[in-house]
Structure 1
Amino acid sequence: MNNNSSAMVMLGLEGMAVLAVSEHDGELECAIETTAAIGWCPVCGAIARLHDRRPTWVRDLPAGDRPVTLVWVKRIWRCVHPQCEQQTWTETHPAIAPRASWTERARAHACRRVGRDGHAVAAVAREFGVGWATVMAAVRDHGEPLLQRACPGAAATAIGVDETAFTRANAVRGTAFATGIVDLHRVRLIDVVPGRSRKVLADWLSEQPDVWASAVTVAALDPFRGYGAALSAGLPNAVRVLDPFHVVRLGFAAVDDVRRRVQQETCGHRGRRGDPLYGIRRVLRRGADNLTKHAWARLLSGIEAGDDDGQVAKAWVAAQELHAIYGCRDGSPS
């Protein structure tokens, strides 16, 4: 095996030959060309003659810890027939897309670094010497087909729907919400759509194939009525359930409601500093298993001083029982 053949094997790009390799400032630069010595006109099929060459620089996979740039010396072909509408054209190769700034295998590797290994997009961009948007384009191009193959449309039998605040409100804009849809059995994200409303979810459901909708038997959601209405119309055969987090939160919200009512009836005003129940409002919203000795003492003292009829205590116990039920796994408390 000669030196050029060895270099071709190390390069690992079929149909590419290595012309030269050099090192500049810790980076490898590899000049390459295709092995095609003859070109054919894509329009009339006639044999072509070499018209010119043009270098193209693209990033490739690192070699060890050194960045690699490929200098592809592209051939520009010209059709031999003067009347052919295709005068000149530039050769292509499947490993490097037209006008690409890096090879397809490098783009696929960047997608794995972000999607599988959990590296930040900015970190991968610095590693390859490309921009943030370039890496994100690779993640979309190579990642979306993987998700479609890994999560076929008809595979989800239980889905979850919830809102997420993507940006918080400030002086110039309001809070921006998005609706997330997940596969509960596979614990995988299905999609994220901008907005939080009945229409947003209903429109998304209407875009799904009938076979997907018919396969969904359970839909978990938060208490937002818009989601419930959209799921009722879009997935009529699915059982709608509240997810445990929101059920428990509703239980502790009920404790707050009882505390406010008892406080108003007892003190004749809304809660303020110095009121026994107002002083333990945050302790009442915590799970009993997370209370310290000091918190327990504050809780018992506040209830004794401000809950004459025991209504707040009963509501708190009920919320704790609800919390304990959802903390059970296989019949045993967690």
Structure 2
Amino acid sequence: MTKLLNLPGVIVEDTKETKETLILSVRVEKKTAACPRCSRISHRLHQNKTHLVRDLPMGDREVILKVNRRRFKCENCQKPFSETLDFVGNKKSFTYRYAQAVTEQVIHSDVSNVAKNNGLTSEEVWSMVISLAKKVIPINVEDLKILGIDEISLVKGQGKFIVVLVDLETHKLLGLVPSRTQSQIEKVMQEWGEKVLSQIEEVSMDMTGNYKSLVQKICQNAQVTVDRFHLTKIVNEELNTARIDQKKTAESLSAKERAKVFSSLKGSKYTLLKNEKNLSKKQKEKLEQVKQASPTVAIMHDLKEEFHLLFEESKTLGEGTLRLIDWLKKAEPYYRNSVATIKRWFPEVVGYFERRTTNGIVEGINNRLKLLKRCGFGFKNFHNFELRALLLWHFPPNLAH
């Protein structure tokens, strides 16, 4: 039974069982303990104290460990102390590995269901989550060099956002900020310490002014770069707006011409926005219909494709900068908003060609956060959500010593 239990240094002395429960009386193999005050090893047993601890189930039966957490007397301090057990925390009624198993369920589900499925209360489940979170939070940011900043909506359509901070080298979430105000973001980042903030070399973001000025203030050695995928997004949005406008303009045409334009533009959104090289044969035929029906949309589509390629093909900062300047001149009559935005952020945009950092990883993390929010049936407590999110990326393979 000791081998079956598989807790290093723990011996099973006795077993009692029912149809649903297995109770194992266990003892620690070593005969000594270290004093928490002076670290002196003590052999002097002072008291035996038994308590029950929940462990991983065996088959369909729950497992309860009857643990003797001994008290020793330090020969140096002359004071009693309880021994530290490797498999269970002080004053905890569950083993580390059981807490780990339950926490892993919480990450991919909601607390109520996990509690129900394991015969626990919601409070007991959260106790396990918090106990495990203390082992990995705060997140170690000592090696942070390239930071990604983005935001996601808490409640769709209500204007409530949280800010997402990501290590773009390790592709892991570093933290969440409850709002996108400068003061809140600065508060979280300042907790990393001056040493970490000064070693950050690059911060990749979308074109939100608050983030840029804040980064320049507290990360003085960092280069701010704009993520190319956010640039592509604003170009695509303007192209789609033009597509919609062309349908409205067609209202003034003759019935025959109007029908032709409507037929061509109907259902064309994703055909226009998708990279042309990835289109199916049917989608390419649809694209040709759109171009024939609307010369303006045709030109804008070609410019959109050129915009994508200049980021894909430019090998140096100089080449990328020159190609982007050329594109801005050609695109300005058609992409007025996008061109104006890119010009305002020009130094940060061309910075991409130097390091080629992308915030695409952050977008992937945002999608997982949204899935996590749905699994938890909404967003009710920011702190609890942050714990679950951080554990999702930093959940260790084994915390049970």
Tell me which interval the TM-score lies in, with the shorter structure as reference length: 0.5 to 0.7
Identity of aligned residues (%): 19
Match of 2:54 among 59, 62, 80: 59
Contiguous gaps of at least 5 residues in structure 1: 1-5, 78-85
Q: Which amino acid aligns with 1:200?
A: Q
Report the Cα distance in structure 2 between the residues aligned to 1:182 and 1:76, rounded to whole angstroms: 45
Residue in structure 2 matched with residue 71 of structure 1 by the alignment: 66
Which of 94, 103, 122 matches 2:95? 103
Q: Hey, what does 2:342 align to over in structure 1?
A: none
Give the 3-state SS of the residue equivalent to 1:136 in structure 2. Answer: helix
Q: Distance in 1 between matches of 2:20 and 2:310?
A: 60
Counterpart residue number, 1:285: 273
Q: CA deviation at 1:231?
A: 1.6
Change (3 A) 1:243 1:37: closer
Task: Give the match for residue 209 of structure 1.
Answer: 193
Whose radius of gyration is greater, 1 or 2? 1
Contact 1:58 1:70 in 2 (8 A): yes
Aligned residues: 293
Offset of 1:132 from its aligned partner?
3.4
Query: Is the 1:258–1:312 Cα contact (8 Å) retained in structure 2?
Result: yes
- Asked whether the 8 Å contact 1:110–1:139 carries over to 2, the reply is no
Q: How does 1:1-334 map to 2 (within 5 A)?
A: 7=2, 12=7, 14=9, 18-32=12-26, 55-62=50-57, 67-72=62-67, 91-94=82-85, 95-107=87-99, 130=120, 131-144=124-137, 147-148=139-140, 153-168=141-156, 174=158, 176-259=160-243, 276=262, 279=266, 282=269, 283-305=271-293, 307=294, 310-326=295-311
**Cα pair 1:20 1:31 within 8 Å, conserved:** yes
Structure 1 residue 201, shift from structure 2 partner: 2.2
Task: Considering Cα pairs closer than 8 Å and 6+ residues apart, tell me whether 1 or 2 has the greater RCO.
Answer: 2
The answer to which structure has the higher strand fraction is: 1
Match of 1:3 in 2: none
Consecutive unaligned residues of structure 2, counting only runs of 5 or more, are 38-43, 73-78, 317-401
More helix by share: 2
Report if the CA contact (8 A) 2:20-2:60 is conserved. no
Question: Which stretch of structure 1 is more off in the superposition, 131-140 or 179-188?
Answer: 131-140
Deviation of 1:200 after TM superposition, in Å, equals 2.8
User: 1:70: how far off?
Assistant: 0.4
CA distance in 2, matches of 1:328, 1:29: 66
Tell me if the contact between 2:212 and 2:224 (Cα under 8 Å) persists in the aligned partners.
yes
User: What is the distance in 1 between the residues matched to 2:31 and 2:135?
Assistant: 32
Q: Is the 8 A contact 1:280 1:298 kept in 2?
A: no
CA RMSD, aligned part only?
4.6
Change (3 A) 1:22 1:48: closer
TM-score for both structures, normalised by structure 2: 0.57
The 1:213/1:291 distance shift into structure 2, 3 A limit, reads same
